[in-house]
Amino acid sequence: MSDLFVALTPANLFACFLGAVLGTIVGVLPGLGPAGAMALVLPLTIKLGPTAGLIMLAGIYYGAMYGGSTTSILVNVPGEAASVVTTIDGYRMARRGRAGAALAIAAIASFVAGTFSVVALQVAAPLVARAALAFGPAEYFAFALLGVVLLANLTGGSRAKSFAMVVVGVMLSTVGMDPLGGSVRFTLGVGGAEAGFSFIAVTAGLFGVAEVLTTMAEPGSVVAAARVKFRELYPNREELRRAVPAMLRGTVLGFFVGLVPGPAATLASFVSYGVERKVSKYRHELGTGAIEGVAGPEAANNAAAGGGMIPLLSLGLPFTPSTAVLLSGMLLMSVTPGPFLLRDHPQVFWGVIGSFYVGNIMLLLLNLPLVGLFARVATIPPRYLMPGVLVLCVVAAYSDNNNLFDVWVLMAAGIAGYLMRALGWNPAPLVLGLVLGPLLERSLLQALTIGRGDVRELWASAAAAVMLAAAVVVFAFPIARVAGRRRPRGA
């Protein structure tokens, strides 16, 4: 526990500050998103060392959640998907002259939820990690499979498309060395492909280069941001009184949604808004500029970001693109997340958790007085920003393995990502498939070997059986429901 104070060393404080600022800017800018930004700065964080590097990456992750609300409220442009709901009431509050109050409530809700989720993470992560020590290959396989199935059900689009994207990611993960025997597969004799597809190159391509290409296809006009004076940043007593219950509901709800695989932060903000529409005393005002519509969703998306760290730190399983980049960063820094993280790297584990506390305070202090400045970032025309993003993508991809093959992978992933968006395919499940692929393959083959070829080994333990049964139910239920609806009446 004393390792929590590792976060207070000057180097780690600086890394936390840098990550929080970068994250806020990424959250403010529509498009790139935290996962892409984290992939772009990976080369820089590796140079900082494991603790400071991961603190910086984590800072970007939760900083983006804070920043996303600023442009939602001031210019009706959500910086990232988790802030879409905030535009509904936040922008209407701004048009009524209550932009300052909405921004302050969003920052306070983010702080309260972020702090709650860190406390819960601090308590729950070691417990989950201890329980996971009993996990063998069959349990890991079942849990990863359940995660993949849940993810495909929750990404919002077609389930078949989401599943297909996960499987494509898994197939791409088989390129290169196989995780058990060491045979080289699917390289087609191309030099540099033996190491497999670089996760950074694929992520930077799918999110960074594809964003540049998409921006070129939609040359939007520059948005105008409302000016907010510092003295206007105080919500009145009535607004505070109404915001607190929504904030608390959003916090608890968001944390639990964060544990579920999928776009947790986005989902949490939508669920929180739905809950407010059902239970709030002022539900009839939602949609017209009600403070509950800002406090609930903003608390929920920040709490979900903390909740999503539990499966990553305790089990080594990332269920969102951002935590997948964090996992990749950890592996590059020779830190393996999972049940042994706390034993092998206590300074990294507690240092990152400690930085969440510090980061939340920094973000509150940064976001209250500097909202006007951050909102102006959103008004920079893309023609000045996007060419720089392209060069950063190239640096990030190349520096992963100092390999030109990865630059080709970056370009191919960028063009593929653009086409996917154009055809309505979400690339996020592909990224997770790419990360979970080796784990799925290794645990499946190990379980089969342990069971001497008996597939019943996969559900021999109660935990694995329950998780596999849940995966089957989650997979089959929507199909059965659709089939039931199509059956003619009386048949």
Partner 1 sequence: MGRDRGSALGLAVFAVVYLLADRRYPLDTLSTPGPGLFPLLAGLALLALAGWQFAIPDRRPDHAPAAVREPSSARAPLAMAGVLVIYAALLPVVGFMPGSFALVVVSARLMGLRRWWAAATLALGVVLASRVVFVTWLGVPLP
Who contacts 267 (Cβ-Cβ below 8 Å, separation ≥6)? 154, 257, 260, 304
Instruction: Specify whether the CB–CB gap between 257 and 268 falls below 8 A.
Output: yes
How far apart CA 292 and CA 250 sit, in angstroms, is 10
How far apart CA 378 and CA 79 sit, in angstroms, is 8
CB of 186 to partner 1, least distance (A): 6
Who contacts 79 (Cβ-Cβ below 8 Å, separation ≥6)? 26, 27, 28, 29, 30, 64, 67, 68, 69, 70, 71, 72, 378
Question: Nearer Cβ to partner 1, position 453 or 488?
Answer: 453
How far apart CA 409 and CA 389 sit, in angstroms, is 17
CB of 156 to partner 1, least distance (A): 8
Question: Nearer Cβ to partner 1, position 97 or 387?
Answer: 387
CB of 196 to partner 1, least distance (A): 13
Question: Nearer Cβ to partner 1, position 164 or 470?
Answer: 164
How far apart CA 308 and CA 316 sit, in angstroms, is 11
Beta bridge partners of 177: 184
Which helix (H) or strand (E) segment holds residue 314: the answer is none
CB of 43 to partner 1, least distance (A): 5
Widest Cα–Cα separation across the chain: 73
Q: What is the DSSP string of 206-256?
A: IIIIHHHHHHHHS-PPPPPPPP--GGG----HHHHHHHHHHHHHHHHHHHH
How far apart CA 205 and CA 416 sit, in angstroms, is 8
Question: Nearer Cβ to partner 1, position 220 or 369?
Answer: 220
CB of 178 to partner 1, least distance (A): 4
CB of 217 to partner 1, least distance (A): 5
How far apart CA 298 and CA 302 sit, in angstroms, is 6
CB of 143 to partner 1, least distance (A): 17
Question: Nearer Cβ to partner 1, position 133 or 419?
Answer: 419
Question: Nearer Cβ to partner 1, position 415 or 466?
Answer: 415
The pair of structure tokens assigned to 2 is: 């004393």
Instruction: Specify whether the CB–CB gap between 136 and 396 falls below 8 A.
Output: no
Question: Nearer Cβ to partner 1, position 8 or 167?
Answer: 167
Question: Nearer Cβ to partner 1, position 117 or 269?
Answer: 269
Question: Nearer Cβ to partner 1, position 2 or 183?
Answer: 183
How far apart CA 224 and CA 166 sit, in angstroms, is 39
The pair of structure tokens assigned to 218 is: 């939609």
How far apart CA 304 and CA 213 sit, in angstroms, is 30
Question: Nearer Cβ to partner 1, position 48 or 275?
Answer: 48
Packing angle, helices 99-132 and 237-258, rounded to 10: 30
The pair of structure tokens assigned to 226 is: 């409302």
Who contacts 310 (Cβ-Cβ below 8 Å, separation ≥6)? 121, 124, 125, 128, 258, 259
Q: Which residues bind partner 1 (CB under 8 A)?
A: 43-44, 47, 157-158, 160-161, 163-164, 167-168, 170-171, 174, 178, 180-181, 183, 185-186, 209, 212-219, 381-384, 386-388, 390-392, 394-395, 398-399, 402, 404, 407-408, 410-411, 414-415, 418, 421-425, 437, 440-441, 444-445, 448-449, 451-455, 482
Burial class (CB in 10 A: 0-12, 13-18, 19+), 219: exposed
CB of 209 to partner 1, least distance (A): 7
CB of 211 to partner 1, least distance (A): 11
CB of 392 to partner 1, least distance (A): 7
How far apart CA 81 and CA 218 sit, in angstroms, is 18
CB of 308 to partner 1, least distance (A): 23
CB of 414 to partner 1, least distance (A): 7
